[in-house]
Amino acid sequence: MVHRANLWIDFAGFRSELFRSGMKLAVSLLTLMSASSRLSAQSAKISYADLLRPPGHTYHHVPIGLCEDYPEESTTPAIIRGDMELLKRSGIKLLRIAFGWDGIEGKKGAYDWLFWDDYVKMAVDEYGITLIPYICYTPRWNSTGDSTNYWNHTPKDYEAFGAFVLTIVGRYKDRIHSWELWNEPDISAFWSGTAEELARLTKIGSQAVKKADPDAIVVLAGLAGNTRFTEALFKDYGISPYVDVVNIHNYYETWNSTPIEAIVDEVNTVHDIVKRFGRNQSIWMAEVGYSSFRKPDGYVSDWSWSTYAYEHTAEYQAVHLIKALTLDLSTERLAAVAWYRIKDLKPGEAVIGDVNNRFLGVARLDHTPKPAEKAITFFNRMFSQSYRCIDRQTVVRRTLGSDSEVHTFEIEDGSVVIVGWLKTRIPGRAGNEPIGTLEDRRRETVTLTLPKKLAGGGVLYDELGSGHAFTEIDNGGPATVVSGLILDGGAISILKLVPK
């Protein structure tokens, strides 16, 4: 399950003159913006305080954003502008990016800020984006690895990492107040060391963050799913005082055959770890994704396959996105979620992992939208207010042996949103073999009794936000009964009921 989408390459300070000219022009344009425009962008931003989940709140809103990687040697101003415009049209204000230690400090004590100074100004000042960066990887001069495979190895001098963190946080503390220290250290593709060595790096980095910006959020390196690694960090190596957020990643059904519905178990396991051995840190899932790649025979990766013909298509990626985000919100454990990533990659672009890395975007390489972009925009609009999950108060009646998954949410304005589907991957079920072209003819009807009376009507939506009136509602008694909610294989049903 390795999936870094770009390689940080040390080009000995190389930047093309075209890139420099383009970014200088972008900065000049920024200086011409009116003060009112800058204030308008800032006012719409997500606060960093919104990325921490407060205890005891009945209703809560989880910000949902996107992720993107920016290889400095190949990213142009036009690419960045295209990304920002996509975020703008999608109404997304949260973005996880990577600051490359190896790219910025190619020589000890010598920093190249050209790319990132301009990027941060554009993203934050012009577009009002809240950035949640992670800091990685080891520069060649400080690596215990060899001359070609250096960036994912432990550093010779851990204190040098602290010095870099102190410098970068101090440079951007007027615009960025969240700092994640490394990425997916529980797999060797990104960290050659042990949990103990990662804990050492984190403690040094955290102290540097707090020294430069005492109010900043320190985020534990996003973990790729090895919860034993997570537990060791807290239980054995005393990481708790040094981190405010624990970030977990999820690519079920792409680099892992585990059904997407197991997200709930993963989140609950991490929550239990930080409750037992930590201080109830907030939890993010700031990488969750699903590729639109598959071979005709159903092959997806060495860890997963398709059974049905619709799986791992651009159309079904949108359905899977709604499933994943719904499951995330249903846990009531998460403080932020970010889908990986903005756009697909070039067919021949070097990646760590496999071809799936090139097909994770909600948009294509040229920024034209895939269905997933419309889906995430619709989902954010549907859950734009604070809400609470009312699964425990809702009675769902379904057939024996049902494949259905249904979650219900009460929005703060009194409306109710129901999201339901039929599970695609069912462990142990005959027919889950890697057939790849199977037609999914399953259909089920479920009935729900909601814990409140809703006198208004309902609208049934698909994953793209196309809707029509839904009338199978009985609100004559003290509760509301929804009957005839049809769930089809490979599809998703999103029903919104209003109070009156």
Q: Which CATH number fits domain 389-497: 2.40.10, 2.60.40, 3.40.50, 1.20.1070?
A: 2.60.40
- Residue extent(s) of CATH 2.60.40 domains in the chain: 389-497
Look at residue 1 and tell me whether its pLDDT is greater than 70.
no
| pLDDT per residue as tens digits for the range 411-470 | 999 999 999 999 998 877 655 566 788 999 999 999 999 999 998 899 999 999 999 999
Q: Is the separation of the CB atoms in 143 and 155 below 8 Å?
A: yes
**What pLDDT does residue 22 have?**
42
Q: CA 365 to CA 152: how far, in whole Å?
A: 27
Count Cβ atoms within 10 A of the Cβ of residue 233 and give its class: 0-12 exposed, 13-18 middle, 19 or more buried.
buried
pLDDT at 38: 37
Query: How does pLDDT run across 218-275, given as a tens digit for each residue?
Result: 999 999 999 999 999 999 999 999 999 999 999 999 999 999 999 999 999 999 999 9
Among 124-133, 347-356, 475-484, which stretch is predicted with the lowest mean pLDDT? 347-356
- Superfamily covering domain 17-384: Glycosidases (3.20.20.80)
How many residues are present in the chain? 500
Distance CA 63, CA 79 (A): 24
pLDDT in tens, 73-121: 889 999 999 999 999 999 999 999 999 999 999 999 999 999 999 999 9
Predicted pLDDT of residue 441: 94
Separation of alpha carbons 99 and 111, rounded Å:
12
Q: Where in the chain is the domain with CATH 3.20.20.80?
A: 17-384
**Taking 90 as the threshold, does the pLDDT of residue 16 lie above it?**
no
Give the model confidence (pLDDT) of 134-143 as tens digits: 999 999 999 9
Burial of 449 (0-12, 13-18, 19+ CB in 10 A): middle
Average pLDDT score, the chain: 90
The pLDDT of residue 432 is: 56
pLDDT band at 10 (very low <50, low <70, confident <90, very high): very low
Judge whether residue 150 has pLDDT over 90. Answer: yes
The β-bridge partners of 482 are 448, 473
